[in-house]
Structure 1
Amino acid sequence: MALRTRRHGAATGAPDGSRRRRLPMRLLLPVLVLVALMAMLMLRGYVHNEILADHRIQPEAASDRVPEKILDGGPVIDTRGGRTGSLRVPDHRLVLTFDDGPDPTWTPKVLDVLKKHHAHAVFFVTGSMTSRYPELVKRMVDEGHEVGLHTFNHPDLSYQSKKRIDWELSQNQLAITGAAGVRTSLFRPPYSSFADAMDNKSWPVTEYIGSRGYITVVNNTDSEDWKKPGVDEIIRRATPHGGKGAIVLMHDSGGDRHQTVQALDRFLPELQERGYRFDNLTEALGAPSALTPVAGADLWKGKAWVLLVRAADDITGVLVVGLAVTGTLVIGRFVLMLLLSGVHARRVRRKNFSWGPPVTEPVSVLVPAYNEAKCIENTVRSLMASEHPIEVIVVDDGSTDGTARIVEAMGLPNVRVVRQLNAGKPAALNRGLANARHDLVVMMDGDTVFEPATVRELVQPFGDPRVGAVAGNAKVGNRDSLIGAWQHIEYVMGFNLDRRMYDILRCMPTIPGAVGAFRRSALEPIGGMSDDTLAEDTDVTMALHRNGWRVVYAENARAWTEAPESVQQLWSQRYRWSYGTMQAIWKHRRALVERGPSGRFGRVGLPFVSLFMVVAPLLAPLIDVFLLYGLIFGPTQKTVVAWLGVLAIQAVCAAYAFRLDRERMTHLISLPLQQILYRQLMYVVLLQSWITALTGGRLRWQKLRRTGAVEAPGGPVPRQRTRSSSDRRPVA
């Protein structure tokens, strides 16, 4: 897996035209993968009689338009070339016919019994079963049996149009060709009976089938083995009277056929001793074989069809396993979140809970800023209202919109501006670290607003000397729009509930860039903030774990951030997050085999992050794919109930998360729509991230457009007195 990145500063060198050329590809690849999976699922549904299946059966009708010689004739009906005739099997000749196969369990047993007693038969196979088990049809032909068409999906053809009949025949023939390399001229309609049961509904179908070059084969002896009447009764019903020949109807599929197999093993030797021969149809009639070898393009089309069906079955099998894995992961994660987040809340809210001695020492707050002119004033003024002693260092990372000048013009005490050429957020944070005066360092984004108590709450866990970093509680400030409300739900439920769980498990994967605190003494040994990945916050958190530091969550350290307000911006942000997380996991993969205190993250944290943040979200679309499939093709009611059950579980988790965070429940009204629309976008983003990672693609930092509309609860921070220009010198 090649995982590479470029700094956001390099984005300025990309011409607009090249970005436009890349845009379709990033959408095309994920969409193609999803379309291919859906196509495989549709093919599997068609072959398994879940799509285009028609289970209607025509009731008996009048037979006054059926020729008498057909009603009184034999079970082999020939209407080819305008003929109207029928044939009977000669005396002491039995043609065993088996319908509805091949079946992977019972057909081999039937073939074994036939081979044991040197008997031949005719198997009227459906295209759907032949496509799934082609090796059994090939075995039939190789062992001297004949095969005939029994349609593809087993519908009653008297209900079908000529176009549908042609489709059933051609697809059935295609499957047989792909399986055994032959074509057949034999046909048996589904739900057929004796010749004298032909009526005004089925006779036109028989005539049409003949016009297509097929001989219709019904039966004149029915074992009724599908009723499972017992071995003796099956033998009795299958035995003709007076040494007459017969076409005997049996089944090698459609259910439990152990009675058929047992009856066959007795029936064959008993009637052979009575002088009967068991031949295939053309042997019994002394006619040329009904099977014709196929070569050239038709053969390869058949083989391609069988290959596609096999691939669809295999892929669908994998998808079903993936769905089971996804369901297990999703439910397991929900259970863990509900249990452990409750434990976390009860622990930190106890009256006697303490991280250690109160932390009152001053803190350095680092604000990396790149073109944050619309937000930076709100950000800095919110810090000036802090209840904890702080110094503020705004690192201007080569902004072109006057961000640094805005901060300098504010003339606020304990606020310094550090300018540097554009080098990316990690470099800006490291520059801030180099200029910080204090050991405790808070990092935030240039578009984020702190509450007065945020810094104080954020640094209290440092009373425990084992704590190296603290994650704060990031909140969506612009939650009034629909896309903002969806992100608000995600932040409260997906991020903060997760952080409570990971805190208890002692494997917090990410300190949010919007609100996090670090010991400088913990950062320096690992080289500060790394630019190896696009998720520098996840990267540094994993590095701290590997160095033996604890990383915890401070629920009351609230920060209000401006979430993306358009699909394009949201896509860019989440694409970077997803890809950066994969990079960080790959970078710290050796943690899996490390021992000692630092090995806990590798044994617990890294597998959890990989499963819950990468694998499970990647597989989660299967839930919606199968939902869509079930709604369209059934079972619709069970599908809806199952989906509503999953939604109910998510709603419970979301409501619990909102209760823990003391948030209003009104935003949860949009939860069902979020599950239908918002999640799909996240799926495609993650899939694109996987494709980028596996192909070694490069991803640029992408600057999101901000509005500066986010303020801390309670309104804007009051403006401070402007200091003289002599006090507003930028730090070099």
Structure 2
Amino acid sequence: MTTLHEELLRRNNFHTSSTRSWEAISGIGWHEPTPSELSLAAVRTLSVVVPAYNVSYCLPAVLDALEGQHHRHGFEVIVVDDASTDTTAAIAARHPVVTTVLRLPERAGGATARNLGTALARGQTVLYLDADMVLPPHVITDITARATDTTVLVGFRHNLPYDLHQGGRGVLAEHPQLGADHRVVWRPPVGRPLLYTGVTLTERLDGRPLDHTHDFVDLGYGQRYVDWDLPRMVVTCLVAVPRAAVLNVGGFDPEFGRIGWGMEDTYLGACLIASGLLVIPLRQVVGFHLDPPDAEQQWQRKLATWPGTLARYWDLMRRPAPTGRTHSFIAEVSELLRTCEVLRPH
């Protein structure tokens, strides 16, 4: 039986004809901010799924940015609180842009939170947005205008240290920079193993993954750019996917959340690519990622769990590519939904 890894070796990422066709129809560039009045922006429905854990320091700014979108059509915002110990759930429950708030009885991790949100979503497209990502006002229209049943639309992040954003105040007066994302400008360490592949570089590298792979086109057929491959470009801090495709592959693997941090989005990316979806970047879709006050300590805790989640990922890659799992996914998530507190009904 073909493994997930073997299936990726068969899949190209030739999305150029798709982006050029869209440009010809819309009259604007693929990477240009989209006018809110563009008729194509009304073609698909959208659900924003926000997993949230102890993000009271930044969640108001994130939700305010969603409320301030220039999009002329309705979209739903589903916040899944992962058993926070601060006021995260209360902030979400009282914000006018939020349509649904769930609270898990105990912490389960981002993968489980996103699965719950995906099960409740009514939109054809699901935008996974981290609860510390502040979006410029054109982003929702950019995504809804370009989304299809066969594409994964990838956005980017610009990290801001806490002492610069102080919970998000004044952030929207600035413009997030594309080059702040490691998938765009990447200067890896020399002399120590890289996180994903374990490759050790002996010389400095001025890495440009996005440019040097022609907007990820060259990452088809399992190709790599040093420590990056196509599944690794699917980062759920800001990524839009067809809901039906996520259900078909069984959603996120919840085991990642139990082990620690990372790789659940990479695994979802691998599953979606294996099922035939193209991964296309949107250079204009860049959000501010608002670091917490204890960012360095959190990062060290996350890195400590990385070997376990990476091992889980490669174990799954040696198994058959998942497909036909919609029914079982809905059944499993429905069982979990019964244990959740509903702070704002769907």
TM-score (norm 2): 0.61
2:289 pairs with 1:568? no
Shift of 1:569: 3.0
**Aligned mates of 1:562, 1:579 — CA distance in 2:** 26
Partner amino acid, structure 2, of 1:416:
T
Q: 2:186 aligns with which of 494, 497, 504?
A: 494
Is 1:423 matched up with 2:108?
yes
Structure 1 residues 610-629: aligned runs within 5 Å: none
Change (3 A) 1:518 1:414: same
Q: Which residue matches 2:47?
A: 364
Q: 1 or 2, which has the higher helix percentage? A: 1
Measured in 1, the distance between the counterparts of 2:23 and 2:265 equals 32
Structure with max Cα Rg: 1
Alignment of 1:334-413 (within 5 A): 352=24, 358-360=40-42, 361-388=44-71, 389-410=74-95, 412-413=96-97
Closer, same or farther in 2 for the Cα pair 1:397/1:480, shift >3 Å?
closer
> Which residue, 238, 242, 245 being the options, matches 1:522?
245
Contact 2:156 2:181 (8 Å CA) reproduced: no
**Structure 1 residues 380, 444: closer, same or farther in 2, change over 3 A?**
same
Residue by residue over 1:275-314, the C-alpha shift from the partner in whole angstroms, topping out at 9 and shown as x without a partner, is xxxxxxxxxxxxxxxxxxxxxxxxxxxxxxxxxxxxxxxx
1:555 aligned residue? 283
> Counterpart of 1:373 in 2: which secondary structure?
coil
Match of 1:580 in 2: 309
Which is strand-richer, 1 or 2? 2
State the one-letter code of the partner of 1:584. Answer: Y
Structure 1 counterpart of 2:273: 545
Q: Distance in 2 between matches of 1:577 and 1:362?
A: 35
3-state SS in 2 of match to 1:493:
coil
SS in 2 for 1:358: helix
Equivalent position of 1:512 in the other structure: 235
Give secondary structure in 2 for the equivalent of 1:473: strand
CA shift, 1:454, in A, is 1.5
Give, as a single letter, the amino acid of the residue that structure 2 aligns with 1:358: L
Rounded to whole Å, the distance in 1 between the matches of 2:264 and 2:104 is 19
- Within-5 A mapping of 1:217-256: none
Deviation at 1:729, TM superposition (A): 5.5
CA gap 1:558/1:384 in 2 versus in 1, 3 angstroms: same
In 2: Cα distance, 1:472 partner to 1:448 partner: 11
The two structures, once aligned, show a CA RMSD in angstroms of 3.6
Change beyond 3 A, Cα 1:492–1:571 = farther
Q: Which amino acid aligns with 1:509?
A: P
Shift of the 589–378 alpha-carbon distance from structure 1 to 2, 3 Å rule, reads same
1:429-440 to 2 correspondences below 5 Å: 429-440=114-125
Tell me, what secondary structure is at the counterpart of 2:49?
Answer: strand
**In structure 1, how many angstroms separate the alpha carbons of the residues matched to 2:145 and 2:305?**
31
TM alignment of 1:36-75, pairs within 5 A: none
Shift of 1:554: 1.3
With over 3 angstroms needed to count, the CA separation of the structure-2 counterparts of 1:497 and 1:456, relative to structure 1, is: farther
Amino acid at match of 1:583: R
- Are 2:51 and 2:131, in contact at CA under 8 Å, matched by a contact in 1? yes
C-alpha change, 1:378 and 1:566, in structure 2 (3 Å) is closer
Secondary structure, in 3 states, of the residue corresponding to 1:555? Answer: strand
Name the % identity: 25
Provide the residue aligned with 2:158 in structure 1: 475
Cα 1:386–1:577 shift into 2, 3 Å: farther
The alpha carbon displacement at 1:568 in A equals 3.3
Distance 1:391 1:578 in 2: 36
* Kept after mapping to 1: 8 A contact 2:111/2:264: yes
Unmatched segments (≥5 aa) in structure 1: 1-342, 595-727
TM-aligned CA deviation for residue 541 of structure 1:
0.3
* Counterpart Cα distance in 2 of 1:433 and 1:492: 28
Q: Identify the residue that residue 3 of structure 2 maps to in structure 1.
A: none
SS at match of 2:216: helix
Provide the rounded CA distance (Å) in 1 between the counterparts of 2:319 and 2:126.
28
Partner of 1:730: 344
The 3 A distance-change label for structure 1 pair 505 and 590 is farther
Q: Relative to structure 1, is the Cα distance of residues 414 and 488 closer, same or farther in structure 2, using a 3 angstrom cutoff?
A: closer
Instruction: Flag the 1:571–1:491 CA change in 2: closer, same or farther, 3 A.
Output: farther
- The verdict on how the C-alpha distance between 1:578 and 1:383 changes in structure 2, with shifts beyond 3 A counting, is farther
Partner Cα separation in structure 2 for residue 393 and residue 363 of structure 1 = 11
Distance 1:562 1:446 in 2: 9
1:145 maps to: none
- Code of the residue aligned with 1:453 in structure 2: it is H
How far apart, CA to CA, are the structure 2 residues paired with 1:550 and 1:566?
33
Q: Could you list the runs of 5+ residues in structure 2 that have no partner in the other structure?
A: 1-14, 31-38, 165-176, 188-206, 221-229, 257-261, 322-341
Q: Give the AA of the match of 2:209.
A: D
Q: How far off its partner does 1:573 sit? A: 3.5
Query: Contact 1:364–1:441 at 8 Å: present in 2 too?
Result: yes
After superposition, residues 254-265 of structure 1 pair within 5 angstroms as none
Give me the whole-angstrom Cα distance separating, in 1, the residues matched to 2:314 and 2:241. Answer: 21
Indicate the structure whose relative CO is greater, using CA pairs within 8 Å and at least 6 residues apart.
2
Asked if 2 retains the 8 angstrom alpha-carbon contact of 1:368 and 1:396, the reply is yes
Structure 2 CA distance for aligned equivalents of residues 566 and 551 of structure 1: 30
* Structure 1 residue 513 displacement after superposition: 2.1
Aligned counterpart, 2:127 = 442
Is the 2:51–2:82 contact (alpha carbons within 8 Å) kept by the matching residues of 1?
Answer: yes
**Relative to structure 1, is the Cα distance of residues 480 and 406 closer, same or farther in structure 2, using a 3 angstrom cutoff?**
closer
Q: Secondary structure at the match of 2:118?
A: helix
Check conservation: 1:372, 1:446, Cα contact below 8 A: yes
Against the structure 1 CA distance between its residues 416 and 552, is the aligned structure 2 distance closer, same or farther, given a 3 Å change threshold? same
Asked whether the equivalents of residues 473 and 558 of structure 1 are also in contact (C-alpha less than 8 Å), the reply is yes
- Counterpart CA distance in 2 for 1:553 and 1:562 is 22
Contact 1:458 1:516 (8 Å CA) reproduced: no
Q: Give the partner amino acid of 2:109.
A: G
TM-score for both structures, normalised by structure 1: 0.30
Whether the 8 Å contact between 2:58 and 2:290 is mirrored in structure 1 is: no
Structure 1 contact 395–431 (Cα < 8 Å) conserved: yes
- Secondary structure class of the residue paired with 1:374: coil
User: Aligned AA for 1:402?
Assistant: T
Q: Is the 8 A contact 1:371 1:402 kept in 2?
A: yes
